[in-house]
């Protein structure tokens, strides 16, 4: 086999543990009517099973050497489409909006975790299911459901299930940290894209000065009495900061703000 030099630029750690791969594939519950998106196909260990189980697989790989390797390796599968480009620059609405039963199954490169999730959440794409492997520290923040804009954004749209922890030895080369497999199940009813954007506007605003209390941040815009009234109706304590708010608080807060704006 031709030697392959790891690119530090993209933080490449290739999954080599087929037992872990089996868990990811099992959790994805793939069917022939599914279109599966894989980001960072690497050497194709996941891809080679995805093309066998799903109706269509759309993969992204930024490294030209890997792109060529996987394209050659899986050239007999007509249901595979590979893009050699940066997924973060892709126009997902144009590429994926015509597909139904969309699933996202990937071992996410650690270096792009935050922008990757931001892109997925803001794309407006309706995913049927996501099964993703992420860095453990990153995954644990998502599972907390609060404390950061990312955690709030994910949990507004998905129920997140921790599948299992994965050791560094499951990768080549082994990363310095452990990983988590997470399963994301869309909440029903789903928040509409416009409502999601409005909630996230306030999430980012209140987290932009996370040391300040929510009341103090809202008071200049609404006045003291109106701010107290809104917080009370949303069941938010005046002493709380953004990091204290649960998902239901964010939804209630924005609902109350819209009520005031429309009155």
Residue 56: give its domain's CATH number: 3.40.50.150
Do 112 and 233 reside in the same domain of the chain?
no
Among 129, 164, 186, give the residue marking a domain's end: 186
Among 153, 186, 219, give the residue marking a domain's end: 186
Residue 260 confidence (pLDDT) = 83
Do 127 and 60 reside in the same domain of the chain?
yes
Give the whole-number percent of the chain exceeding pLDDT 70: 95
State the pLDDT confidence band at 11, using cuts at 50, 70 and 90: low
Do 109 and 61 reside in the same domain of the chain?
yes
**Is residue 7 pLDDT above 80, yes or no?**
no
Neighbouring CB atoms inside 10 A of 223's CB total 11
Confirm whether 244 is domain-assigned: yes
Do 218 and 250 reside in the same domain of the chain?
yes
pLDDT, averaged across the chain: 94
Do 123 and 236 reside in the same domain of the chain?
no
Do 179 and 200 reside in the same domain of the chain?
no
Among 186, 214, 241, give the residue marking a domain's end: 186
Do 241 and 125 reside in the same domain of the chain?
no
- Residue 95 class from Cβ within 10 Å (0-12 exposed, 13-18 middle, 19+ buried)? middle
Confirm whether 59 is domain-assigned: yes
CA-closest candidate to residue 169, choices 19, 39, 43: 19
Confirm whether 124 is domain-assigned: yes
Residue with more model confidence, 167 or 109: 167
Residue located via tokens 């030099």: 5
Q: What is the CATH number of the domain that holds 246?
A: 1.10.8.100
Confirm whether 1 is domain-assigned: no
**Is residue 54 pLDDT above 70, yes or no?**
yes
Distance of alpha carbon 18 from the chain centroid: 23
For the chain, what percentages of helix, strand and coil (3-state, to nearest 5) are there? 50, 20, 35
CA distances from 57 to 30, 47, 182, 213 (A): 11, 8, 20, 46
- Which residue range is the domain that position 83 belongs to? 8-186
Do 63 and 150 reside in the same domain of the chain?
yes
**Is residue 155 pLDDT above 50, yes or no?**
yes
Total number of domains in the chain: 2
Residue 100 confidence (pLDDT) = 87
Residue 105 confidence (pLDDT) = 98
| Cβ-Cβ contacts under 8 Å for 176 (sequence gap 6 or more) | 168
Which pLDDT tens digit goes with each residue over 200-243? 999 999 999 999 999 999 999 999 999 999 999 999 999 999 99
Do 149 and 219 reside in the same domain of the chain?
no
- Give the residue-averaged pLDDT of 138-167: 97
Do 138 and 29 reside in the same domain of the chain?
yes
Do 172 and 216 reside in the same domain of the chain?
no
Do 159 and 99 reside in the same domain of the chain?
yes
Confirm whether 3 is domain-assigned: no
Confirm whether 2 is domain-assigned: no
**Is residue 1 pLDDT above 80, yes or no?**
no
Residue 4 confidence (pLDDT) = 46
Confirm whether 80 is domain-assigned: yes
């Amino acid at each position: 086999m031709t030697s392959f030099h790891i690119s530090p630029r993209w933080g490449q750690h290739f999954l080599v543990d087929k037992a872990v791969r089996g868990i990811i594939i099992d959790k994805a519950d793939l069917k022939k009517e599914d279109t599966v998106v894989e980001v960072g196909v690497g050497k194709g260990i996941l891809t080679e099973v995805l093309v066998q189980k799903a109706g269509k697989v759309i993969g992204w790989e930024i490294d030209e050497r890997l792109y060529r390797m996987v394209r050659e390796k899986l050239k007999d599968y007509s249901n595979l489409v590979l893009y050699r480009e940066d997924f973060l620059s892709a126009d997902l609405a144009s590429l994926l909006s015509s597909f139904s039963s969309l699933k996202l199954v990937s071992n996410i490169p650690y270096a792009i975790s935050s922008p990757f999730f931001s892109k997925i959440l803001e794309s407006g794409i309706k995913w049927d299911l996501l099964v993703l492997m992420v860095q453990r520290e990153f995954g644990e923040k998502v599972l907390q459901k609060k404390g950061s804009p990312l955690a709030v954004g994910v949990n507004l749209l998905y129920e997140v299930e921790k599948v299992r922890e994965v050791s560094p030895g499951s990768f080549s080369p082994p990363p310095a940290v452990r990983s988590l497999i997470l399963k994301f199940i869309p909440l029903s009813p789903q928040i509409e894209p416009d409502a999601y954007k409005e909630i996230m506007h306030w999430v980012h605003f209140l987290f932009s000065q996370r040391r300040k209390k929510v009341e103090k941040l809202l008071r200049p815009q609404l006045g003291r009495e109106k701010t107290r009234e809104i917080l009370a109706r949303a069941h938010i304590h005046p002493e709380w900061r953004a990091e204290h708010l649960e998902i239901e608080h964010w939804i209630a807060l924005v609902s109350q703000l819209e009520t005031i704006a429309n009155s």
